[in-house]
Copies of this chain bind each other. A is one copy, B any other.
Amino acid sequence: MVIIMKVGATQQEVDHVIERIQASGLQAHLVQGEERVIIGAIGDTKVARPDNFNLLPAVDRVMPISRPYKLASREFNPYDTRVVVNGIQIGGPGITLMAGPCSVESREQLLETALAVKEAGAQILRGGAYKPRTSPYAFQGMGEAGLELLAEVREITGMPVITEVMTPEQLPIVEKYADILQIGARNMQNFALLHAAGSSPLPVLLKRGLSATIDELLMSAEHILAYGNPQVILCERGIRTFETTTRNTTDINAIPVLKSLSHLPVILDPSHSTGHWEYVSAVARAGIAAGADGLIVEVHRAPDEALSDGNQSLKPERFGEMVRQVRAIAEVLGRGASQAVSAPSPISLPVEA
């Protein structure tokens, strides 16, 4: 960390800071500027709690130097992580498309939609059984019955399933049915859940919180990685801003930023990041153009009858058109659809590119 002293700090005050640095097991390096003294503290600053140095007399401010995450950082692992699910790579050369209804509502609804999105080119089936809802009076999901339907439809279609887990207690039951665990935006800093997912053998798709910074998203990924699960997929799903025309603001910058800062796969959820079906395809194209490794999209056979998120769900035929466009854009960038890998290899992190 770098400690910036106030203009006019006395020698005694500077010495006091230096003593505290040394008492924390760090080395102090003094730089005498024109206006003020700057002190570099060298060593493992995590132990030193940089914030506390702010409180010493005549300290103006403290600037951390190291990024707070390691395992999630490309600085410490330059090779792209590839998550493999049922032979489908996420984070490899191709792009991966996940689609399906917001909520599992019935066998017929799920199966019909799953067949339609598979036909259109989706590789992984999404569908919620446990639903976080702002209102206690809204549909809360089918629960385990929904998970059973997802498993049945996986058998029929061959598509692996991604579904949300909301609490550590739900994890064992969700693990029985799911191929990828989804942690939702509202739970991005539910640390008990992150730790439970960190102990799971399943890959985890981690959605960015509504007001989470990119650093905080990576810190939450770090929680999962630090608990032993290397298969984390990051998901941009829109942030909260002052703009209300759309439900959220797609932070498209986050796609290249995350690819630059981290080795983890990055996908975009244009359904939540816009909140309106009318804008989903345009933003899906933007995501792939910006370098996302894939998309997760809400599709419903009859959006105006959906029990949740109908407003942002595509009809299957629109989804098909979207798939054609994003595939063509991916090809411009030299990327095809993600390929099945010949042998369902054990998890491979890091994989050399």
Contacts and interface: CB of A to CB of B under 8 A. Distances in A.
A56 to B, nearest CB: 6
A253 B303 CA distance: 21
Given A65-B4, A306-B52, A257 B286 contact: no
B257 A279 contact: yes
Interface string A117-134: 000000000000000111
A283 B252 contact: yes
Interface stretch (A88-96, A146-154, A207-215, A342-350): A207-215
Number of copies of chain A assembled together = 4
Given A169-B169, A189-B134, A256-B282, A40 B33 contact: yes
A111 B149 CA distance: 55
A289 B291 contact: no
Interface stretch (A79-87, A155-163, A172-180, A235-243): A235-243
Interface residues of A, number: 106
Nearest to A28: B31
Given A186-B190, A215-B245, A282-B289, 8 more contacts: A52-B310, A166-B190, A213-B242, A249-B249, A253-B283, A282-B291, A285-B289, A329-B329
